[in-house]
Amino acid sequence: MRCYLVLLFLSALGASLSAAPDKPNVIVILTDDQGYADVGFHNLPASRQALTPNLDRLASEGIMFKNGYVAFSTCGPSRQSLLTGRSASRFGVEENGFYATKNEIMLPRIIKDHGYTSAMFGKWHCGDEPDLTPKGRGFDESYETTSQDFFMKRLPHPAAWKEKGGMREHGPYLTDAITDEAIAFIRRNKSKPFFAYVAHQAPHSPFCTKEDLMQRIVKHAPEYAAAYQRMKTHTSTRGRKASYDPPNFDYGNFKGEDLDQELLRLTYLSMLLSVDDGVGKILDTLKEEGLRENTLIFYLSDNGGALARPNDLGSVNLPLRSGKGSVFEGGIRVPFVMSWPGTLEHGSVNSKAVVSSMDIFATTIELAGGKVPSDRIIDGVNLIPYLTGKKEGNPHEVLFFRRLGDGGYSIRNGDHKLDGVKLQPKVLRKGGDPSHYPEGGGFYDVQNDITEVKDLSAQFAEKKAETRRIYEALTKDFPVPLDTLPGARPGREE
């Protein structure tokens, strides 16, 4: 009898395990304007100042890519490329405030047919017309924060805060709201496959934070103690003054020439810490619900850190050249992690594979059991076969980056990159400035020279010419960027 009961129990257990969802959950965690050095796992000189234990934990549970790219160096086009798997240049979007039409297919619409529930949380930046909103694009749920109102004086509080254990002790804060809504979604959908797009607005300006976050940064990096004390005396900047209203601190105007750079850096780092706290809560939730080994997590920034307006805005992009808005490495090479315990390597640093934010599209669709659209070019690829040894080679031998309205483009071809090619003024948008790009562009070995200091144009003249021809062939049928058309007016920025 005892043996029969044991067999019955094992049979039931086997049936239960086989009934578990075999389609993985997918979570994308996106930061906004995060500097390349501003994460512990990059182990760069400035990385020591960033307090990111949970992002470091995520990297230790997955793969950190040294050659991780986004498709664009500004928010809107970068996000639209991620969600369509296509360079936004293919549909004329190369600047903020311009959006893909409803004919462009975004990821959630496809995986819906394969049993997935999807939701987006945070910054959208992909259009506000009814058919361009998150739900218009196929998301089942959304908590869209259309204003960078970090202290939530105008934004409605999320539904998650009405439940037990809601708002944090330090009061309403936008990053917390995005995280808590995402966690509530995970718990509601734990018994079926889901896709969560968690798009933080931090550490993008305006620079608003909580005092307890600043205190933790000071404890971690004591060199900011003096800046913290200045914060408490209502340090002022030109124009709008800084405001210390415990527990809130608003840095105020960040565009002047006499900024307190230490205080700005401290504020930025504390905003990033709030994102890291959220990552930790998401990881803990997945573990509590028994979902961690069935969940693939992507973490990356939407573009490089914002620099020189006329001062750096808190972030550190070194050792990369330039930052947000540029087609140099500093605008498009970003922190990039994939983590899926039990399927992908643990604590691995991949220094060779060239991966792109656009790969999230194809990877997620094929994991869901779907197929990428065959009626259009999809620039992204499914990364899983490359990372599990089922497919050899590099996911991308060629990646191109454009911002024609600002006067330049670049293209990576293997280890080399034709960079910052200055364009003729006739293609510039109003206000576009190509002066920071060299005539003819430079040619760099960006696999080994990520700072782009050694121009190899003379040494590799033929390879440079070949790379230019590849770019011209790839982009010859692209539409004129919408922002360069006569009378072009961007839509509302989010």
Select 398-484's CATH number: 3.30.1120, 3.40.50, 3.90.25, 1.20.1270. Answer: 3.30.1120
- Is the pLDDT reported for residue 140 higher than 50? yes
Q: Does the domain formed by 23-387 have CATH 3.40.720.10?
A: yes
Of the candidates 464, 450, 452, 460, the residue with the CA atom closest to the CA atom of residue 351: 450
Give 163 or 339, the one with higher predicted confidence: 339
Task: Quickly state the pLDDT bin for 439 (edges 50, 70, 90).
Answer: confident
Summarize pLDDT for 394-422 with one digit per residue, the tens. 999 999 999 988 888 999 999 999 998 76
Looking at residue 165, what is its pLDDT? 59
Cα torsion 139, 140, 145, 151: sign: negative
- CATH 3.40.720.10 domain span(s) along the chain: 23-387
CB 411 within 8 A of CB 399: yes
**Average of per-residue pLDDT across 247-275:** 92
Contact predicate 307/313, CB 8 Å: yes
Structure confidence by residue, pLDDT tens digits, 27-80: 999 999 999 999 999 999 999 999 999 999 999 999 999 999 999 999 999 999
Confidence band, pLDDT 50/70/90 cuts, at residue 240 = low
pLDDT at 491 over 70: no
- Per-residue pLDDT of 144-167, as tens digits, reads 997 789 999 999 999 999 875 567
Per residue in 317-336, pLDDT tens?
999 999 999 999 999 999 99
**Distances, alpha carbon 386 to alpha carbons 349, 382, 383, 393, 443, in Å:** 14, 8, 5, 7, 28
Q: What percent of the chain has pLDDT over 70?
A: 89
Amino acid at 271: M
Predicted local confidence at residue 424, as pLDDT: 58
Instruction: Enumerate the CATH 3.30.1120 domain ranges in the chain, comma separated.
Output: 398-484
Predicted confidence at residue 2, as pLDDT, reads 45
Q: Please give the pLDDT value at position 434.
A: 63
List of E strands, 321-432: 336-339, 348-356, 398-403, 408-413, 416-422
Long-range contacts of 379-386 (CB under 8 A, 24+ apart): 379/71, 379/81, 379/85, 379/86, 379/87, 379/90, 380/85, 380/86, 380/356, 383/338, 383/353, 383/355, 383/359, 384/343, 386/353
Give CA–CA dist 160/406, Å, rounded. Answer: 42
Q: Is residue 246's pLDDT more than 50?
A: yes
Q: In what order do the strands lie in the sheet with 25-31?
A: 141-144, 117-122, 194-199, 25-31, 295-301, 336-339, 63-69, 348-356
Average pLDDT over residues 387-393: 97
As a whole number, the mean pLDDT across the chain is 90
Q: Residue 165: is it exposed, middle or buried by C-beta count within 10 angstroms (0-12/13-18/19+)?
A: exposed
Residue 26 pairs with which residues in a beta bridge? 195, 296
H/E element, 196: strand 194-199
Active site residues: 75, 125
Letter string b/e over residues 234-258, b meaning 16 or more CB atoms within 10 A of that residue's CB: ebebeeeebebeebbbbbbebeeee
pLDDT beyond 80 at 494:
no
CB contact at 8 A, 300 and 357: yes
Would you say how long the chain is, in residues?
Answer: 494
What is the C-alpha separation between 421 and 477, in angstroms, rounded?
A: 19
* Alpha-carbon span 182 to 121, nearest angstrom: 7
pTM: predicted TM-score of the whole model, two decimal places: 0.93
**So what's the pLDDT on residue 433?**
67
Tell me the per-residue pLDDT of 181-239, one tens digit each, with 9 for 90 and over: 999 999 999 999 999 999 999 999 999 999 999 999 999 999 999 999 999 986 444 44
